[in-house]
Amino acid sequence: MTLVVPEGQQNGRAVARVVPLRLPPIYKPLARRRASAARERELRSLQDYAWRFQSVVAGIPGLAVSYGDRPVRVLQVIPRDGTLTELNVQVPVHHLPRDYSEHAHRIAAAMGACRIRVQQFAPGQLLIELLHSDPLREPVRLSTEPLRSVTDLIYLGRDETDQGYWLTPVELVHLIVQGATGSGKSVFTYGLLSQLVGIPEVLIAMSDPTGLLTRPFIGTVHAEWQVSDSANIDAHIDLLRRLVEMMDQRIQNLPPRRDQVEISDGCPLVFVVLEEYPGLIRAAAQVDAADKRKSGGKVEQIKGLVGRLAAESRKAGMRLVILAQRAEASILDSYTRGQMTVKLSFRVAEAASIEMLHPTGREEAEEHATSAAGIALLSAPGVKLKRIKTPWLGVADDGPEYARYWDLVTTYAARLPQEAAE
Ligand SMILES: Nc1ncnc2c1ncn2[C@@H]1O[C@H](COP(=O)(O)OP(=O)(O)O)[C@@H](O)[C@H]1O
Ligand SMILES: [Mg+2]
């Protein structure tokens, strides 16, 4: 057995040295002396790991290539503690960690592990960590300091390898969040809005049939752009119409040599949050049905306005945030869906809903149907598909997340001058 040791670069090419590899220490006692029964059992289970890994990887199309008759060879199994086992694996040199992590769920299932993580160890060698408990179980806390500028970073969460995901408000061009009741949408939204609320050049518009997101905003500069009355569909339509007007005006008023508005106090970045958007459409459909409208009804108006915002508002400095239990095709047409580039799916019952937002997520969908609250699949520009834990605001002895959200909004949102509030 040999080990390839990287030795830096020469003329822009990687140079490596090949050295003979000593037999992994765990194999020695077996050869030298009679191992105790316990030791033998342990060894057998470690060899079983190696065998299972080799067989499952051999069964994955695209991986079982070009390494003689065996696609990979497990060089060493390193038991760490009850929660982790590491495999040091020799693979064809052109294989990347990604090739394996793409099949992580399948490899993990075959290994009897909860999840796997894959890292490069050396060219042609990978370190595969078998995790016996879910690294996303622990909550991720949000810093209590809100952002101060539209170029600061919004924290979306962290993945199984502890990598964090951040985006600036400017980069967050149209976000869609789906998830069943209790899956973590509201907590995520509390976190998102409380990060945004302290930025002077951000305006938060909302259509919020629940009324919970908007309540702490009463008396702030945002309130005139927020509607919470679920019985009054016209108020929501009116809000959307005002936002589309603002968009049209901003684009019309672009100075020469500019194709996007410049964000400033006078021209804030506008977040348009549509909480439980399918619910709004359904309520509008009921009104239409009562009015016996076939066309030109409220549903059509809402979809038309939201469609325009999705398609045209980026250059006008506006960002859509759509929240839904499921990204249903009947409510969100494929064109509008296509404009949402940041997609977050908390637990949803049906695999089809995952595939609706993450076309490559079929493999993950089944497992994700039972994910704990706060665990989401994320697709974004430059992020293929990641399972992340989204942050929460909760502090163990400081009451529920909503109270923290309330405090952050009332503390940091710009308030109306007193006389205007009266
Ligand atoms: N990121 C998270 N980390 C830890 N727990 C969470 C997280 N998100 C949600 N939860 C838990 O799940 C519960 C339901 O979440 P919620 O956001 O209200 O769901 P939804 O809005 O999708 O119905 C919360 O009260 C909280 O206890
Ligand atoms: Mg909710």
Tens digits of residue pLDDT in 158-189:
998 788 999 999 999 999 999 999 999 999 99
Half-sphere exposure of 110 toward its Cβ, with a 13 Å CA cutoff?
A: 17
The finding on whether 361 has its CB within 6 A of some atom of ligand 1 is no
Runs of H (alpha helix) within 298-380:
298-312, 334-339, 351-357, 362-368
Q: What span, in angstroms and rounded, lies between the C-alpha atoms of 172 and 159?
A: 19
Give the Å distance between the CA of 273 and the centre of ligand 1: 18
Buried/exposed code over 88-118 (b: 16+ C-beta within 10 A; e: otherwise):
bbbbeeebebebbbbbbbebbebbebebbbb
Residue 322: closest CA among 293, 356, 372: 356
- Which is the closest atom of ligand 1 to the Cα of 325? 22
Element (H, E) at 403: helix 401-412
How far is C-alpha 72 from the geometric centre of its chain's CA atoms?
32
Please report where in the chains the tokens 């994955």 appear, as a residue.
60
Looking up tokens 């993450």 gives: 358
Cα(182) to centroid(ligand 1), Å: 6
What the block records as the tokens of 110 is 């075959």
Q: Whose CA is closest to atom 15 on ligand 1?
A: 184
Three-class secondary structure of residue 151 per DSSP: coil
Ligand 1 pocket check for 373: Cβ under 6 Å? yes
pLDDT reported for residue 6: 59
- Is the beta carbon of 186 within 6 A of some atom in ligand 1? yes
Q: How far is the CA of 185 from the centre of ligand 1 (A)?
A: 7
The alpha carbon of 156 and the centre of ligand 2 are apart by a number of angstroms equal to: 17
pLDDT value for 23: 45
Predicted local confidence at residue 5, as pLDDT:
55
Tokens of 107: 């490899």
Q: Is the CB of 187 under 6 A from ligand 1?
A: yes
Ligand nearest to the CA of 189: 1
Q: Which ligand is nearest to the CA of 139?
A: 1
Ligand 1 pocket check for 192: Cβ under 6 Å:
no
- pTM for the model stands at 0.82
What is residue 261's DSSP assignment?
P
- Residue 185 Cα to ligand 2 midpoint, Å, equals 6
Q: At what angle do helices 185-196 and 401-412 cross, to 10 degrees?
A: 20
Nearest ligand for residue 183 CA: 1
Smallest-distance ligand from the CA of 213? 2
- Judge whether 376 and 157 are in contact, CB under 8 Å: yes
pLDDT tens for residues 88-103? 888 888 888 888 888 8
Rg for the chain, CA atoms, rounded: 26
Nearest C-alpha neighbor of 331 from the set 300, 359, 358, 354: 300
Ligand 1 centroid to residue 149 C-alpha, Å: 27
What pLDDT shows up at residue 113? 86
Please list the ranges in the chain whose pLDDT falls under 70. Answer: 1-36, 38, 64-71, 80-82, 394-399, 419-422
With beta carbons less than 8 A apart as the criterion, state whether 319 and 269 touch: yes
Task: For ligand 1, say whether the CB of 179 is within 6 Å of any of its atoms.
Answer: yes
H-run or E-run covering 324: strand 318-324
CB 221 within 8 A of CB 413: yes
For ligand 1, whether the C-beta of 184 sits within 6 Å is yes
CA distance 17 to 3: 8
CA of 239 to the centre of ligand 1 (A): 28
User: Residue 218 corresponds to which amino acid?
Assistant: I
Domains of the chain, start order: 2-131 (3.30.980), 140-421 (3.40.50.300)
| Protein residue closest via CA to atom 20 of ligand 1 | 182
Question: CB of 185 closer than 6 A to ligand 1?
Answer: yes
Whole-number Å distance, alpha carbon 357 to ligand 1 midpoint, is 21
Ligand 1 pocket member 139 (CB < 6 A): yes
Which atom of ligand 1 lies nearest, measured to the CA of 157?
1
- What are the Cα distances from residue 88, in Å, to 20, 55, 128? 16, 16, 6
- Ligand nearest the Cα of residue 399 is 1
The set of residues, in sequence order, having a beta carbon less than 8 Å from that of 367 and lying 6+ positions away, is 105
Ligand 1 in reach of 405 Cβ (< 6 A): no
Q: Cα(377)–Cα(413) distance, rounded to whole angstroms? A: 30
pLDDT at 272: 98
Ligand nearest to the CA of 182: 1
Which amino acid type is present at position 299? V
Place of tokens 């927020």: 226
Pocket test for ligand 1, best of 377, 401, 402, 405 (most atoms within 8 A of CB): 401
Nearest CA to ligand 1 atom 14: 182
- Strand-pairing partners, residue 6, are 16
